[in-house]
Amino acid sequence: MIIDFHAHIGRIHPERKELLDASQLMTRMEEWGIEKACVLALSETPEGDYLEADTEDVLRECSHFPGRLIPFCLIDPRFGLNHPSMNFAPLMEEYVARGCRGMGELLPKMAIDDCRCLNLFQQAARFNLPVVIDLHSRPLSYGLEDAPGLPGLEKVLQSCPETIIVGHGPTFWAEISGSVSPSERGSYPRGPIKPGGAVPRLLKTYPNLWADLSAGSGYNALTRDPAAGLEFLETFQDKLLFGTDYCLRRHTDREVKIIGFFKTLRAKKLISPEAWEKIAWKNAVKLLKL
């Protein structure tokens, strides 16, 4: 079995002509041999509005394929009063009651340790909602920000020990390596993974940090230095989640490289069968209590 921890539906801006609905997503999943997918919302956050899909859209689309599509909700940290003590509990309670199992993806252009983000993270834990974050560096118009070495993420992990943070995005994955240059933090760096990376250090230190393998950034991190990528998968097999981040605009040719890569891992026995099964679906089942 394979569970895609990071999938999308939605209408793509600015033209809004292309629509990826639940039926189309299911067709792709059948092609790829993926049994279940977590469907993430984006457009509660204005910076995420390039893909028009808010929690209501996600809930509606997922309701057509119960048990196969798992809805995630999204609340912008600035929602309501844009205040660091805003009470999100009524909204979270409603979303959980309607079937949401996680939150994300969170990509406002804010510092990850902004007090409004910390407030959201802390409240998510009370409703057992793991939070998928997207870390990006300037000048992109979206994505949570952090300094080199990810001190802001570390502060989040320390301040919100009950909250499961699921890392994702180019800046997160660039920090799999030590000595990351500023230009590498916003791109897909090539070449060997150097020792001292923030991501392995934080994954080792904090039980509440997990990561999904989705998107070009996840694929790049695992393949730029093949031997180190395999070692990373084996080492952190209990905290990694397979995901695609499939989105029509980015994948017009329908090629999502992480899928072929992940299947090759099993076919060629490049990682242990136990590690593969955990990353493919067991970790997601455990984390989301499916």
136 vs 239 by CB, closer to Zn ion: 136
Q: Least separation, in Å, of the C-beta of 138 and Zn ion?
A: 19
Q: Least separation, in Å, of the C-beta of 133 and Zn ion?
A: 11
88 vs 246 by CB, closer to Zn ion: 246
- Under the criterion CB under 5 A, does residue 47 sit at the interface with Zn ion? no
Nearest 5°: the CA angle 276, 38, 81 is 130
Residues 160-179 that bind Zn ion (CB under 5 A): none
44 vs 245 by CB, closer to Zn ion: 245
Coil/strand/helix, residue 209? strand
Count of residues that interact with Zn ion, criterion CB under 5 A: 2
135 vs 275 by CB, closer to Zn ion: 135
Give residue number: closest CB to Zn ion.
245
Q: Least separation, in Å, of the C-beta of 38 and Zn ion?
A: 10
Q: Least separation, in Å, of the C-beta of 41 and Zn ion?
A: 10
24 vs 122 by CB, closer to Zn ion: 24
Cβ(7)–Cβ(37) under 8 Å? yes
Residues 96-115 that bind Zn ion (CB under 5 A): 105
Sheet holding 36-39, edge to edge: 3-7, 36-39, 69-73, 102-106, 131-133, 165-167, 209-212, 240-241
Residues with Cβ within 8 Å of 255's Cβ and at least 6 positions away in sequence, in order, are none
- Cβ-based neighbour number of residue 1 at 10 Å: 12
57 vs 154 by CB, closer to Zn ion: 57
Rounded-to-integer distance, Cα 22 and Cα 42, Å: 15
Residues with Cβ within 8 Å of 160's Cβ and at least 6 positions away in sequence, in order, are 118, 121, 122, 125, 208
Cβ(133)–Cβ(162) under 8 Å? no
86 vs 168 by CB, closer to Zn ion: 168
The region of 18-26, 60-68, 240-248, 272-280 touching Zn ion under the rule CB under 5 A is: 240-248
Q: Least separation, in Å, of the C-beta of 59 and Zn ion?
A: 17
Q: Least separation, in Å, of the C-beta of 272 and Zn ion?
A: 28
Q: Least separation, in Å, of the C-beta of 99 and Zn ion?
A: 20
Among the residues of the chain, which ranges form H helices?
Answer: 22-32, 55-62, 89-97, 115-126, 151-159, 170-174, 198-205, 215-223, 226-235, 257-267, 273-277, 283-288
Phi, psi of 222 (to 5 degrees): -85, -15
Q: Least separation, in Å, of the C-beta of 268 and Zn ion?
A: 28
Partner residues linked to 179 by β-bridges: none
Q: Which of 245, 246, 282, 284 touches Zn ion by CB under 5 A?
A: 245
116 vs 136 by CB, closer to Zn ion: 136
Q: Which residues bind Zn ion (CB under 5 A)?
A: 105, 245
